[in-house]
Protein backbone atom coordinates (compact mmCIF):
# COMPACT_ATOMS: atom_id res chain seq x y z
CA UNK A 1 0.00 0.00 0.00
CA UNK A 2 1.72 3.18 -1.20
CA UNK A 3 1.02 6.21 0.95
CA UNK A 4 2.62 9.54 1.61
CA UNK A 5 1.88 12.81 3.36
CA UNK A 6 0.88 13.34 7.01
CA UNK A 7 0.68 10.21 9.12
CA UNK A 8 -2.43 8.94 10.90
CA UNK A 9 -2.56 6.39 13.69
CA UNK A 10 -6.00 4.76 13.88
CA UNK A 11 -6.85 3.32 17.30
CA UNK A 12 -9.61 0.72 17.58
CA UNK A 13 -10.65 -0.33 21.09
CA UNK A 14 -12.10 -3.80 21.56
CA UNK A 15 -13.99 -5.14 24.55
CA UNK A 16 -15.53 -8.59 24.01
CA UNK A 17 -16.62 -7.81 20.43
CA UNK A 18 -13.83 -9.37 18.30
CA UNK A 19 -15.99 -10.17 15.26
CA UNK A 20 -17.39 -6.64 15.13
CA UNK A 21 -13.93 -5.19 15.72
CA UNK A 22 -12.63 -7.12 12.71
CA UNK A 23 -15.40 -5.61 10.57
CA UNK A 24 -14.55 -2.14 11.87
CA UNK A 25 -10.86 -2.79 11.11
CA UNK A 26 -11.78 -3.77 7.56
CA UNK A 27 -13.67 -0.52 7.09
CA UNK A 28 -10.89 1.52 8.68
CA UNK A 29 -8.20 -0.03 6.50
CA UNK A 30 -10.23 0.67 3.37
CA UNK A 31 -10.70 4.27 4.49
CA UNK A 32 -6.96 4.60 5.15
CA UNK A 33 -6.02 3.59 1.64
CA UNK A 34 -3.48 6.14 0.43
CA UNK A 35 -2.96 7.57 3.92
CA UNK A 36 0.38 7.02 5.62
CA UNK A 37 0.30 5.52 9.08
CA UNK A 38 -1.14 2.44 10.70
CA UNK A 39 -3.88 0.80 12.70
CA UNK A 40 -3.63 -0.34 16.32
CA UNK A 41 -6.30 -2.59 17.82
CA UNK A 42 -6.28 -2.52 21.61
CA UNK A 43 -8.00 -5.35 23.44
CA UNK A 44 -9.20 -3.80 26.69
CA UNK A 45 -8.50 -6.89 28.79
CA UNK A 46 -11.59 -8.73 27.51
CA UNK A 47 -10.42 -12.07 28.97
CA UNK A 48 -12.71 -13.93 26.58
CA UNK A 49 -10.22 -14.93 23.88
CA UNK A 50 -10.65 -11.66 21.97
CA UNK A 51 -6.95 -10.86 21.95
CA UNK A 52 -6.02 -14.28 20.57
CA UNK A 53 -8.81 -14.21 17.98
CA UNK A 54 -7.87 -10.75 16.77
CA UNK A 55 -4.18 -11.62 16.63
CA UNK A 56 -4.80 -14.83 14.69
CA UNK A 57 -7.11 -13.13 12.21
CA UNK A 58 -4.73 -10.28 11.50
CA UNK A 59 -1.80 -12.65 11.07
CA UNK A 60 -3.89 -14.85 8.78
CA UNK A 61 -4.83 -11.87 6.63
CA UNK A 62 -1.24 -10.70 6.48
CA UNK A 63 -2.32 -7.35 7.90
CA UNK A 64 0.60 -7.34 10.31
CA UNK A 65 3.11 -7.07 7.47
CA UNK A 66 5.47 -4.16 8.06
CA UNK A 67 3.52 -3.18 11.16
CA UNK A 68 0.60 -1.64 9.26
CA UNK A 69 -1.78 -3.34 11.73
CA UNK A 70 -0.94 -4.35 15.31
CA UNK A 71 -2.90 -5.87 18.18
CA UNK A 72 -2.07 -4.82 21.72
CA UNK A 73 -3.30 -6.07 25.07
CA UNK A 74 -4.08 -3.30 27.55
CA UNK A 75 -3.47 -5.54 30.56
CA UNK A 76 -6.37 -4.00 32.48
CA UNK A 77 -9.82 -2.66 31.71
CA UNK A 78 -9.35 0.94 32.72
CA UNK A 79 -12.23 2.13 30.55
CA UNK A 80 -12.58 3.97 27.26
CA UNK A 81 -9.96 6.64 27.79
CA UNK A 82 -7.35 4.36 29.32
CA UNK A 83 -7.76 1.80 26.55
CA UNK A 84 -7.39 4.40 23.82
CA UNK A 85 -4.37 5.84 25.60
CA UNK A 86 -2.65 2.44 25.27
CA UNK A 87 -2.99 2.69 21.51
CA UNK A 88 -2.04 6.36 21.33
CA UNK A 89 1.10 5.81 23.38
CA UNK A 90 2.13 2.91 21.13
CA UNK A 91 2.76 5.39 18.30
CA UNK A 92 3.47 4.05 14.82
CA UNK A 93 5.21 0.73 14.18
CA UNK A 94 8.60 2.45 13.77
CA UNK A 95 8.22 4.15 17.14
CA UNK A 96 7.58 7.61 15.73
CA UNK A 97 4.64 9.76 16.77
CA UNK A 98 1.99 10.27 14.08
CA UNK A 99 0.77 13.65 12.94
CA UNK A 100 -2.79 12.71 13.82
CA UNK A 101 -4.59 10.13 15.95
CA UNK A 102 -7.95 8.79 14.80
CA UNK A 103 -10.05 6.94 17.35
CA UNK A 104 -12.83 4.66 16.15
CA UNK A 105 -15.35 2.60 18.08
CA UNK A 106 -15.38 -1.15 17.50
CA UNK A 107 -19.00 -0.88 16.33
CA UNK A 108 -18.35 2.00 13.92
CA UNK A 109 -17.70 1.66 10.20
CA UNK A 110 -16.28 4.65 8.30
CA UNK A 111 -17.19 5.33 4.69
CA UNK A 112 -14.34 4.98 2.21
CA UNK A 113 -13.47 8.70 2.38
CA UNK A 114 -14.40 9.37 6.03
CA UNK A 115 -10.86 9.41 7.41
CA UNK A 116 -9.49 11.40 4.46
CA UNK A 117 -12.17 14.09 4.93
CA UNK A 118 -11.19 14.58 8.58
CA UNK A 119 -7.49 14.60 7.71
CA UNK A 120 -7.94 17.19 4.97
CA UNK A 121 -9.99 19.38 7.27
CA UNK A 122 -7.37 19.37 10.03
CA UNK A 123 -4.58 19.94 7.51
CA UNK A 124 -6.35 23.06 6.23
CA UNK A 125 -7.37 24.49 9.63
CA UNK A 126 -4.35 24.57 11.98
CA UNK A 127 -6.26 26.08 14.93
CA UNK A 128 -8.69 23.16 14.97
CA UNK A 129 -7.47 20.49 17.35
CA UNK A 130 -10.10 17.79 16.89
CA UNK A 131 -12.56 16.87 14.14
CA UNK A 132 -15.43 14.39 14.27
CA UNK A 133 -17.72 12.66 11.82
CA UNK A 134 -21.42 12.54 11.07
CA UNK A 135 -22.56 9.39 12.84
CA UNK A 136 -25.57 7.46 11.62
CA UNK A 137 -27.20 4.15 12.43
CA UNK A 138 -27.23 1.09 10.15
CA UNK A 139 -30.54 2.27 8.67
CA UNK A 140 -29.27 5.79 8.10
CA UNK A 141 -30.82 7.38 11.20
CA UNK A 142 -28.82 10.28 12.59
CA UNK A 143 -27.02 9.77 15.90
CA UNK A 144 -26.69 12.93 17.97
CA UNK A 145 -22.96 13.41 18.69
CA UNK A 146 -22.54 17.21 18.80
CA UNK A 147 -22.74 18.96 22.16
CA UNK A 148 -22.15 22.02 24.33
CA UNK A 149 -20.15 21.76 27.53
CA UNK A 150 -22.30 20.90 30.57
CA UNK A 151 -22.97 23.72 33.00
CA UNK A 152 -25.14 24.50 36.02
CA UNK A 153 -27.70 25.97 33.62
CA UNK A 154 -27.73 22.87 31.43
CA UNK A 155 -28.16 20.65 34.50
CA UNK A 156 -31.32 22.53 35.46
CA UNK A 157 -32.67 22.69 31.90
CA UNK A 158 -32.04 19.02 31.24
CA UNK A 159 -33.72 17.82 34.43
CA UNK A 160 -36.76 20.10 34.61
CA UNK A 161 -37.88 19.18 31.06
CA UNK A 162 -40.17 22.19 30.74
CA UNK A 163 -40.62 24.03 27.44
CA UNK A 164 -40.53 27.63 28.69
CA UNK A 165 -37.34 26.94 30.69
CA UNK A 166 -35.72 25.15 27.74
CA UNK A 167 -36.50 28.09 25.46
CA UNK A 168 -35.06 30.52 28.00
CA UNK A 169 -31.89 28.43 28.37
CA UNK A 170 -31.65 27.29 24.75
CA UNK A 171 -28.04 28.46 24.46
CA UNK A 172 -27.05 26.25 27.40
CA UNK A 173 -28.68 23.00 26.30
CA UNK A 174 -26.01 20.29 26.01
CA UNK A 175 -27.28 18.68 22.78
CA UNK A 176 -26.55 20.68 19.64
CA UNK A 177 -28.80 20.02 16.67
CA UNK A 178 -26.79 17.98 14.18
CA UNK A 179 -25.03 20.48 11.89
CA UNK A 180 -25.52 20.18 8.14
CA UNK A 181 -22.25 21.96 7.39
CA UNK A 182 -18.87 21.97 9.08
CA UNK A 183 -19.28 23.76 12.40
CA UNK A 184 -17.32 24.32 15.57
CA UNK A 185 -18.96 22.73 18.61
CA UNK A 186 -17.84 22.35 22.21
CA UNK A 187 -17.33 18.59 22.17
CA UNK A 188 -18.04 15.46 20.16
CA UNK A 189 -18.69 11.84 21.01
CA UNK A 190 -15.57 9.74 20.43
CA UNK A 191 -17.06 7.13 18.08
CA UNK A 192 -15.10 8.67 15.19
CA UNK A 193 -12.77 11.53 16.02
CA UNK A 194 -9.41 12.67 14.68
CA UNK A 195 -7.03 14.51 16.99
CA UNK A 196 -3.95 16.53 16.26
CA UNK A 197 -0.96 14.84 17.93
CA UNK A 198 0.67 18.17 18.71
CA UNK A 199 -2.43 19.19 20.66
CA UNK A 200 -2.35 15.92 22.63
CA UNK A 201 1.32 16.57 23.35
CA UNK A 202 0.33 19.96 24.76
CA UNK A 203 -2.79 19.12 26.78
CA UNK A 204 -2.26 15.42 27.54
CA UNK A 205 -4.20 12.30 26.62
CA UNK A 206 -7.53 11.09 28.01
CA UNK A 207 -7.84 11.50 31.76
CA UNK A 208 -7.91 7.92 33.00
CA UNK A 209 -9.83 8.83 36.15
CA UNK A 210 -12.91 8.64 33.92
CA UNK A 211 -13.87 5.01 33.43
CA UNK A 212 -16.63 5.74 30.93
CA UNK A 213 -18.52 8.91 29.91
CA UNK A 214 -17.35 12.54 30.10
CA UNK A 215 -13.79 11.66 29.01
CA UNK A 216 -14.29 13.20 25.54
CA UNK A 217 -15.98 16.22 27.14
CA UNK A 218 -12.98 16.74 29.40
CA UNK A 219 -10.48 16.31 26.56
CA UNK A 220 -12.28 18.79 24.30
CA UNK A 221 -12.58 21.28 27.17
CA UNK A 222 -8.84 21.11 27.78
CA UNK A 223 -8.24 21.67 24.06
CA UNK A 224 -10.63 24.64 24.02
CA UNK A 225 -8.90 26.19 27.02
CA UNK A 226 -5.59 25.81 25.15
CA UNK A 227 -7.08 27.67 22.17
CA UNK A 228 -8.00 24.77 19.88
CA UNK A 229 -11.44 24.29 18.37
CA UNK A 230 -13.36 21.06 17.91
CA UNK A 231 -15.16 20.82 14.57
CA UNK A 232 -18.08 18.67 13.46
CA UNK A 233 -17.47 17.63 9.84
CA UNK A 234 -20.63 16.06 8.36
CA UNK A 235 -18.94 15.17 5.06
CA UNK A 236 -17.12 12.44 7.00
CA UNK A 237 -19.75 9.72 7.41
CA UNK A 238 -19.56 6.76 9.76
CA UNK A 239 -22.15 4.06 10.44
CA UNK A 240 -22.47 3.19 14.11
CA UNK A 241 -24.41 0.49 15.93
CA UNK A 242 -24.01 2.05 19.37
CA UNK A 243 -23.66 0.62 22.91
CA UNK A 244 -22.28 -2.69 21.65
CA UNK A 245 -19.67 -2.87 24.41
CA UNK A 246 -21.31 -0.84 27.18
CA UNK A 247 -24.74 -2.46 27.10
CA UNK A 248 -26.26 1.00 27.66
CA UNK A 249 -29.44 0.18 25.74
CA UNK A 250 -30.32 -2.53 28.25
CA UNK A 251 -29.42 -0.65 31.45
CA UNK A 252 -31.94 -1.20 34.25
CA UNK A 253 -30.25 1.53 36.27
CA UNK A 254 -27.54 4.10 35.66
CA UNK A 255 -24.23 2.53 36.76
CA UNK A 256 -22.07 4.05 39.46
CA UNK A 257 -19.32 4.96 37.00
CA UNK A 258 -21.65 7.41 35.23
CA UNK A 259 -22.19 9.29 38.50
CA UNK A 260 -18.44 9.05 39.23
CA UNK A 261 -17.60 10.57 35.85
CA UNK A 262 -20.19 13.34 36.07
CA UNK A 263 -19.04 14.45 39.54
CA UNK A 264 -15.39 14.26 38.60
CA UNK A 265 -15.94 16.29 35.41
CA UNK A 266 -17.63 19.17 37.22
CA UNK A 267 -15.28 19.20 40.21
CA UNK A 268 -12.15 18.92 38.05
CA UNK A 269 -13.22 21.51 35.48
CA UNK A 270 -14.94 24.08 37.70
CA UNK A 271 -14.25 23.22 41.33
CA UNK A 272 -16.19 21.39 44.02
CA UNK A 273 -18.50 24.31 44.84
CA UNK A 274 -19.59 24.42 41.20
CA UNK A 275 -20.10 20.63 41.21
CA UNK A 276 -22.31 20.92 44.28
CA UNK A 277 -24.37 23.67 42.62
CA UNK A 278 -24.71 21.58 39.45
CA UNK A 279 -26.05 18.66 41.47
CA UNK A 280 -28.45 20.80 43.50
CA UNK A 281 -29.87 22.41 40.36
CA UNK A 282 -30.20 19.02 38.68
CA UNK A 283 -32.06 17.61 41.69
CA UNK A 284 -34.23 20.74 41.95
CA UNK A 285 -35.15 20.57 38.28
CA UNK A 286 -35.88 16.87 38.54
CA UNK A 287 -38.05 17.38 41.62
CA UNK A 288 -40.05 20.10 39.85
CA UNK A 289 -40.45 17.81 36.85
CA UNK A 290 -41.74 15.03 39.12
CA UNK A 291 -44.17 17.43 40.83
CA UNK A 292 -45.50 18.73 37.51
CA UNK A 293 -46.04 15.17 36.26
CA UNK A 294 -47.89 14.28 39.48
CA UNK A 295 -50.20 17.27 39.03
CA UNK A 296 -50.84 16.75 35.30
CA UNK A 297 -50.91 12.96 35.34
CA UNK A 298 -48.15 12.70 32.73
CA UNK A 299 -45.51 10.01 32.95
CA UNK A 300 -42.27 11.36 34.37
CA UNK A 301 -39.06 11.02 32.37
CA UNK A 302 -36.74 10.58 35.34
CA UNK A 303 -36.05 6.97 36.27
CA UNK A 304 -37.19 5.99 39.77
CA UNK A 305 -34.42 6.52 42.29
CA UNK A 306 -32.16 8.45 39.91
CA UNK A 307 -32.28 11.78 41.76
CA UNK A 308 -31.79 10.28 45.23
CA UNK A 309 -28.93 8.13 43.92
CA UNK A 310 -27.25 11.22 42.44
CA UNK A 311 -27.69 13.15 45.66
CA UNK A 312 -26.29 10.34 47.84
CA UNK A 313 -23.43 9.68 45.45
CA UNK A 314 -22.36 13.30 45.21
CA UNK A 315 -22.59 13.88 48.95
CA UNK A 316 -20.22 10.95 49.47
CA UNK A 317 -17.93 12.24 46.72
CA UNK A 318 -17.90 15.73 48.22
CA UNK A 319 -16.44 14.53 51.50
CA UNK A 320 -14.27 11.74 50.09
CA UNK A 321 -10.58 12.22 49.42
CA UNK A 322 -9.87 12.55 45.67
CA UNK A 323 -8.55 9.35 44.12
CA UNK A 324 -6.03 9.14 41.26
CA UNK A 325 -8.11 6.75 39.20
CA UNK A 326 -11.44 4.97 39.24
CA UNK A 327 -11.06 1.20 39.40
CA UNK A 328 -14.41 -0.33 38.40
CA UNK A 329 -15.93 -3.39 40.00
CA UNK A 330 -16.64 -6.44 37.88
CA UNK A 331 -20.24 -5.32 37.45
CA UNK A 332 -19.03 -1.99 36.06
CA UNK A 333 -16.42 -3.37 33.67
CA UNK A 334 -18.32 -2.89 30.43
CA UNK A 335 -15.98 -0.72 28.40
Q: Write the pLDDT tens digit of every residue in 32-89.
A: 999 999 999 999 999 999 999 999 999 999 887 777 899 999 999 999 999 999 999 9
Q: State pLDDT tens for residues 110-130.
A: 999 999 999 999 999 999 999
Render pLDDT for 126-164 as a digit per residue (tens, 0 to 9). 999 999 999 999 989 999 999 999 999 999 999 999 999
Strand partners, 42: 13, 72
Residues 6+ apart with CB under 8 A from 82: 44, 74, 76, 206, 208
Residue 332 has pLDDT above 80, yes or no: no
**Is the backbone of residue 175 left (phi > 0), alpha (psi -120 to 50) or beta?**
beta
**pTM exceeds 0.75:** yes
Any idea what the Cα angle at residue 239 is, between residues 48 and 63, rounded to 5°?
55
The three-state secondary structure class of 271 is coil
User: pLDDT averaged over the chain?
Assistant: 91
Helices (H), the chain: 18-31, 50-61, 80-90, 114-124, 152-160, 163-168, 197-203, 215-225, 256-270, 272-296, 306-319
Least confident stretch, 7-11, 139-143, 321-325, 326-330: 326-330
Fold of 4-246: Spore Coat Polysaccharide Biosynthesis Protein SpsA; Chain A (3.90.550)
* Residue 301 pLDDT: 85
Amino acid sequence: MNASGPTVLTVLLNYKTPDMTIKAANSALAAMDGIAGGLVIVDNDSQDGSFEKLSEHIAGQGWDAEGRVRVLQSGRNGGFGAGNNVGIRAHLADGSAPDYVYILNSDAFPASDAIRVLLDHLESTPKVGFAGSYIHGPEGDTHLTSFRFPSVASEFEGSIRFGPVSRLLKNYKVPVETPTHTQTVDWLAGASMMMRQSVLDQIGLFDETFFLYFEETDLCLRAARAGYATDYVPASKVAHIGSASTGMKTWQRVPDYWFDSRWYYFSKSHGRAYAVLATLLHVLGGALHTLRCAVTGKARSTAPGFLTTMLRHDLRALFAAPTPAHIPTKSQSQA
